[in-house]
Structure 1
Amino acid sequence: MGTIWQPELVSGQGPKYQAVVSSIRRGIDEGALKPDDKLPPVRELAWTLGITPGTVARAYTILTDEGTLKAEVGRGTFVAPPSPMRVSDEPIEIDVIPHAVCEDEDRYAVSLFSPHLPCVGQDKVICQLMAQVAKEPPSGVMHYPSRDSARAARRAVLRWLEGTPLGPLGEKDITLCHGGQNGILLILQSVLQGRKPAILIEELAYPGFRRVAEMLRADVVPVAMDEDGLIPEAFEAAVKAHDAQVLCTSPEVHNPTGGFTPVARREQIAKIARRHDVQILEDDCYRMGVNRAPTYRMLAPERGWYVSSIAKTITPSLRFGFAIAPEGKWSILRRTAEHSFFGLATPLCDLSAMLLMHPQIDDLTQETRRAFNTYVQSAVNILGGYDLSWREDVPFLWLRLPMGWRAGAFCQAAEAVGVQIRSAEEFVCRDARAPHAVRMAINAGVSLKSFDAAMLRLRDLLDGPPEQISV
């Protein structure tokens, strides 16, 4: 069947193929083109409009790629039905739950190893979307993952990253991965060369950098830092001494101290990296609020790699993350992912796309931040008399221990009273000296009453250090 649609091009300065795209979209919006209506053949529409067939074919391709049209071999091009990827016509209404509602039973043992997100309603959204995907999976359940099946998820990530200073960014630049740690692995696999490459990390750094490097048989070199992050002179000296290929860093929310690297320092680091041809891998997984400074991908677009996930803002259970290559190098990273695991499972991509585009997702993440902030403020009120580093939008605290305590002994004593925390030793290289400090992640999965009780037990330990220190 054909259509009585009459195309009309609006004259203007833009390319003609874009005018064709706009004309077709206008026809759909105005009801002249309905789902499953057949579009004129390319040559017929080109003759009608007085333009080349290649121009019409390009317009059809753009609209097909975005899902507005669908092409069927041997039959022609048709208007696609409304995408099932969107949330249903009757949106799922979830009450955003204030954090105080989560105060259920009191628990004595509290783990502060890793951040635990509060339940503010995102669990119900996820469960309902899972049911929706199971009932009518947009990508089906009988095919290997493909670039096309993941397109909606990549577009959803683009929306999620709106406002992040990453420089020019399109859907093709997004490579989906199984959480932030997998993104780090993919980037280093894409970048490292030679039999024994070297990477640089901050002297206190996320342990996942070291673990991936060791798995790839790379040397790990710690670089001295101060309150603003990496010290530029130390960074350059390490690059020269070890012929390093990659710097792994967390400038927006440093793990484990919660520190922040200001713009001027980042510009110095980027300048040195450019001078010595060093790639920069930026881990942004712990940021919960807006960026305070440009990313390295914006400052050094030819060498800035970026990785993040939804683990600290929505849920870690889906293991949904994304990695972004420097400008023009997206195919390298995409190829690494496809050669490693073909692609994320199609139901996971469908679910994640719907989740990130859900009309309540911004409210849910904002409530998550508020809940974390409540716990952070509580910890500061109880432990603020000690040398504590914290930020309202960071789900962990860094505590420098008072005289009389060493990190290992303090962690053992804390576990004995039902509180699990991480020693600074976990954030340094194996042969490096660790400061007498601990990281305490915010566990908003327990009641605020339980969390406060855990903080009070830690304060009791800090107030009464042992007379003898275990070596």
Structure 2
Amino acid sequence: MTIEPADLSGRPGPVYRALADALSDAIAEGRLAPGARLPPQRDLAFRLDVTVGTVGRAYELLAQRGLVRGEVGRGTYVLGQIRSIELPPSGPTAPGSEGLIDLTANFPAPIPAQARLGELLPTGESAVDVLADLLRYPEVVGAARHRAEAAAWLAHLGLSADPERLILTNGTESGLAAALLALARPGDCILAEALCYGGLRNLAARLGQHLEPVAMDEQGIVPEALAAAARHTGARVLVTSLNLHNPTGLVVPPERREALVAVARAADLLLVEDDVYGPLVPDRPPGFATLAPERTLHLTSLSKFLAPGLRLGFLHGPERLVREVTAAQREISLGYAPLAAELFVRAHRAGVVAEALRQQRLELGERQRLAREILTGFALTGQPTALHVWLGLPEPWTSAEAALALARAGILLTPAERFFIGRGAAPRAVRISLSAAPTRTHLKSALQRIVATLAHAAGLREGSLV
């Protein structure tokens, strides 16, 4: 089928949302069957006389609703048909919480320490000398004083870091891209959790690499499954997250970490430890960088507790791997952003970085408490200082159906399909980013709407879920 301009007429909201709603209806009514390929964005934009960006935003919204899945180089495909489920009538909204509430992105909750960053920027005559030094082409790995400060921060987090084996990157994702480029070739297999960060899937596809899912249980990757996957695929790289795993929120216990390291050594696997959420976990167990430093690249950043816009990440590892990643980073971006690193140095020395982490943990603790109070009775996985929770869905919901129904109710969240690289059906679950709500009032309103929507369609009353 095709979408015509008439399909968008009379629909409320911006054009991209009207287009997403029209395509959602086509999927719900069976006019777009599971497996159907959506029109290329440029072709549909020309037909509807809109920008390619408008079509791209519509497709992204459909993906957030769990209705489609984009495959790099192949297109965007319908995941499945959505049943028509009657929604409960809209109740009163909390003050200041009107309109769409987007709970799809994991970024820091607003905290007072963030406002102090502006005070630390160089001003006046002193700025001239500072900027002259920072606006040249950067050193690929980072200036020595910036790396030394980064090593001091990592030591505060419990990781013994050598500035000579440290690379500053443009955020964790940039470091992950450099690591994949350095450690694997097109056509190689990369091992990862069956539920993994969606950006990893996109990066691997761009690099022509294949992600092989490894089974998980309630403690993370299953060691026996990792050994079998390494043996059957010949893969030499595992990308994993041990702290506040995205999307399940798991913190892998010490015994499981040690078992996975034993498998990695036996199979001669290189470990890429994506620890972007690690700073949020107080008293966390030793990670792969401590347990197996000879084979681990450790990545983290400021993005999840201070400011993602700084685009500053830290990658540390053994000398031989760091050399390879340095060459890859040179190819990707020529290096890091010195201005961001200078602001980090000033913030770290002024105590702003540590204070921001403290404030973020406290704010997330309050948001997690609120989520557990309102979502009582649901299958909920989370941690006291996590940005998100993983919500298991009651019958008869699938994650795609829940995401669509909640989007129509004004709540955007992320269905399991966005993270699932395993075989078979994705889990019946959704990720709720608690930090994405601008205030706790907005979050409370959104969580109450989630309960009302899910319980109504299930024929259950709030509080009666098991």
| Distance in 1 between residues matched to 2:215 and 2:170, nearest whole Å | 31
Distance 1:253 1:443, change over 3 A: closer
Asked if 1:182 is matched to 2:174, the reply is yes
Percent identical: 28
Which residue matches 1:216? Answer: 207
Which residue matches 1:230? Answer: 221
Asked if 1:367 is matched to 2:367, the reply is no
Instruction: Please give the secondary structure, in 1, of the residue aligned with 2:373.
Output: helix
Alignment of 1:389-400 (within 5 A): 389-400=381-392
**Is contact 1:116–1:442 with CA below 8 Å preserved after alignment?**
no
Which residue matches 2:268? Answer: 277
**Is contact 2:142–2:167 with CA below 8 Å preserved after alignment?**
no
Asked if 1:144 is matched to 2:132, the reply is no
Which residue matches 2:106? Answer: 115
Distance 1:227 1:402, change over 3 A: same
Distance 1:142 1:119, change over 3 A: closer
AA in 2 matched with 1:184? L
Asked if 1:203 is matched to 2:231, the reply is no
Which residue matches 1:80? Answer: none
Which residue matches 2:291? Answer: 299
| Distance in 1 between residues matched to 2:374 and 2:391, nearest whole Å | 12
| Distance in 1 between residues matched to 2:384 and 2:228, nearest whole Å | 35
Cα offset for 1:116? Answer: 3.7
Distance 1:466 1:119, change over 3 A: closer
Asked if 1:169 is matched to 2:161, the reply is yes
Asked if 1:437 is matched to 2:429, the reply is yes
Q: Deviations over 1:428-457 (max 9, x none)?
A: 127542011000011355221121011100
**Is contact 1:175–1:337 with CA below 8 Å preserved after alignment?**
no
Q: Deviations over 1:106-129 (max 9, x none)?
A: 343211101242332333222222
Cα offset for 1:142? Answer: 4.9
Cα offset for 1:176? Answer: 0.8
Which residue matches 2:237? Answer: 246
Which residue matches 2:75? Answer: none
Alignment of 1:121-140 (within 5 A): 121-132=112-123, 134=127, 136-137=129-130, 140=133
Which residue matches 1:406? Answer: 398
Which residue matches 1:349? Answer: 341
Distance 1:371 1:444, change over 3 A: farther
Distance 1:188 1:142, change over 3 A: closer
**Is contact 1:140–1:346 with CA below 8 Å preserved after alignment?**
no
Q: Deviations over 1:251-271 (max 9, x none)?
A: 122111111211221112111
Alignment of 1:258-337 (within 5 A): 258-287=249-278, 288-326=280-318, 329-337=321-329
Which residue matches 2:416? Answer: 424
Instruction: Please give the secondary structure, in 1, of the residue aligned with 2:273.
Output: strand
Count of aligned positions: 363
AA in 2 matched with 1:316? P
| Distance in 1 between residues matched to 2:263 and 2:291, nearest whole Å | 12
- 1:154 is aligned, of 124, 147, 160, to 147
- Single out whichever of 128-137 and 105-114 deviates more from structure 2: 128-137
Instruction: Please give the secondary structure, in 2, of the residue aligned with 1:464.
Output: helix
Distance 1:369 1:148, change over 3 A: closer
Gaps of 5+ in 2: 1-93, 460-466
Cα offset for 1:148? Answer: 9.0
Kindly report structure 1 stretches of 4+ aligned residues shifted beyond 6 Å: none
Structure of higher CA gyration radius: 1
Q: Deviations over 1:193-239 (max 9, x none)?
A: 4x521111111111122111111111111011101111111111111
**Is contact 1:250–1:283 with CA below 8 Å preserved after alignment?**
yes
Alignment of 1:25-174 (within 5 A): 105-132=96-123, 134=127, 136-137=129-130, 140-146=133-139, 150-166=143-159, 168-174=160-166
Cα offset for 1:104? Answer: 8.9
**Is contact 1:108–1:450 with CA below 8 Å preserved after alignment?**
no
Q: Deviations over 1:73-111 (max 9, x none)?
A: xxxxxxxxxxxxxxxxxxxxxxxxxxxxxx994343211
| Distance in 2 between residues matched to 1:247 and 1:350, nearest whole Å | 32
Distance 1:378 1:142, change over 3 A: closer
| Distance in 2 between residues matched to 1:291 and 1:207, nearest whole Å | 27
Gaps of 5+ in 1: 1-102
- Single out whichever of 202-211 and 321-330 deviates more from structure 2: 321-330
AA in 2 matched with 1:156? E
Cα offset for 1:393? Answer: 1.0
AA in 1 matched with 2:432? M
